[in-house]
Structure 1
Amino acid sequence: MSDPAQRRREKSTANMRAEEIMSELNRETDREILDILVTNAPLRVMDIAKIADRHPITVDQTCARLHEQGHISPLGRGLYDVTDDGIRHLENIDGT
């Protein structure tokens, strides 16, 4: 049986890895939604979800995060448009 300190270190390492994976998934989803909005904006959450083949709750949460970051703006009733900052952010991600 390992000591309690070792178990805590192992758990901490596993938690950090899980957070890294979730962060990467969030970045991929953010990029995908920004791409969709650049091409098709304005769109409603349900339309974005259909295009991205993602669950509407995932899209809604991602849109809320992107709005908090200033990358998209709500136009009302679940309708979103990409901001100039969102376009710049997407260009930086793509390296263009």
Structure 2
Amino acid sequence: MSRDELEETILETLADEGPSYVVDLAAVIDEHPVAVDHACERLHDEDATRSIGCRRYDITAAGYRRLDDVRPATGGSDGRAGTERRT
């Protein structure tokens, strides 16, 4: 798995499963814990994740934006309204 693929997979896993320890992320995505730890540190340096102690990470708003940037656009609705009603 490339560096970018690993980081994207980590962000997707955090988005789906919530805060996780590095060792748990490594088990879920079937990667070596050291590689996952380094990727989490890079993502933290980029503000895509936040450390919540003891090698446990959570995705941030910047991480969600990064996922949105790499995910292919779909023709279907994403559930968000296109306009807002003013009252």
Please indicate, yes or no, whether the TM-score normalized by the shorter chain is above 0.5: yes
State the distance in 2 between where 1:71 and 1:41 align: 14
Task: Give the 4+ runs in structure 1 shifted more than 6 A.
Answer: none
> If the length of structure 1 is used for normalisation, what is the TM-score?
0.73
State the distance in 2 between where 1:41 and 1:93 align: 20
Q: CA deviation at 1:25?
A: 1.0
**Larger helix share, 1 or 2:** 1
RMSD: 1.2
> If the length of structure 2 is used for normalisation, what is the TM-score?
0.80
Aligned residues: 73
Match of 2:72 in 1: 95
Structure whose alpha-carbon radius of gyration is higher? 1
1:37 lines up with 2:37 in the alignment: no
Gaps in structure 1 of 5+ consecutive residues: 1-23
Match of 1:63 in 2: 40
Identity across aligned pairs (percent)? Answer: 33
| Correspondences of 1:10-25 after superposition (within 5 Å) | 25=2
Q: Counterpart of 2:71 in structure 1: which amino acid?
A: D
